[in-house]
Amino acid sequence: MSEKHIPLRMCISCRQMKPQSELIRVVRENGTDAVLLDTGKKCFGRGAYVCREAECIDKAIKRNGFARHLGCAVPTEIYKSLQEEKKG
């Protein structure tokens, strides 16, 4: 029997490959500059992934990694939501 494929994604902060289910996705919707937190991982568009670790989230926010990766400005509401998603 074959094992089920587990999609891996790279954290924009620590640059480690991790299973997609362990990461938080921030997405820019296609054709717009609307940025939102994709909790269900179902939104279409350009995505950026970050670990749930406090250090990774803080580092990504400090270095403006989401805006750089997504190519548009990220609203402060997204940063507030990420702060709430922190693991520890």
Model pLDDT, residue 10: 97
Q: Taking the CB of residue 35, how many other CB atoms lie within 10 A of it?
A: 22
Domains of the chain: 8-85 (3.30.1230.10)
> Looking at residue 14, what is its pLDDT?
96
* Three-state DSSP string of 42-79: CCCEEEEEEECCHHHHHHHHHCCHHHHHHCCCCCHHHH
Helix (H) or strand (E) run with residue 35 in it = strand 35-38
Give the Cα separation of 76 and 14 in Å (integer): 22
Instruction: Please give the pLDDT value at position 1.
Output: 67
Output the tens digit of pLDDT for each of the chain's 88 residues: 678 999 999 999 999 999 999 999 999 998 888 999 998 878 899 999 999 999 999 999 999 999 999 999 999 999 999 988 876 5
Contacts of 84 (CB under 8 A, 6+ apart): none
pLDDT at 30: 86
